[in-house]
Amino acid sequence: MTFTTEADLAAVADGVIAMTLPKPAWTHAAHFACAVWIVMRRPDLVAERDLPNLIRAYNESTDTPNTDSGGYHETITQASLRAVRTAVAEGGTPVEVLRRLLQSHGRSDWLLKHWSRERLFSVEARRRWLEPDLAPLRG
């Protein structure tokens, strides 16, 4: 899926919320698109509070169990939301914000600059926020 219009971002977020987004469409870029849309265009939702449960419910609806080794990951979600908030603060439309995010955080391994693999993929990090152990997270 390409994200060239606000409708593209809305479709992903709405699909996650309604649990109708096809599982193959739930890519790394789609995670950011959903988060950007919720932060910028859904004032009824608080991303840091509401997105975890939305992702868990979406995962279950696509037969992706939320376990100690798969599915929802709290540290990755909250780190990604920090990156989204930083990008939003820099200004621009949702599409522009997403474009910048994907330029700087477009690879799913961007987190390994801040967390060791062992810490990031621990059960503890999956269950709750863990601070980075390699470099501070600035967004």
pLDDT in tens, 26-36: 999 999 999 99
3-13 average pLDDT score? 97
Write down the pLDDT at residue 108. Answer: 82
81-109 average pLDDT score? 95
Model confidence pTM above 0.85: yes
What is the C-alpha separation between 39 and 33, in angstroms, rounded? Answer: 10
Summarize pLDDT for 68-83 with one digit per residue, the tens: 999 999 999 999 999 9
What is the C-alpha separation between 23 and 33, in angstroms, rounded? Answer: 15
Q: Which band of pLDDT confidence, cut at 50, 70 and 90, is reported for residue 117?
A: very high
What is the C-alpha separation between 14 and 9, in angstroms, rounded? Answer: 9
What is the C-alpha separation between 18 and 35, in angstroms, rounded? Answer: 15
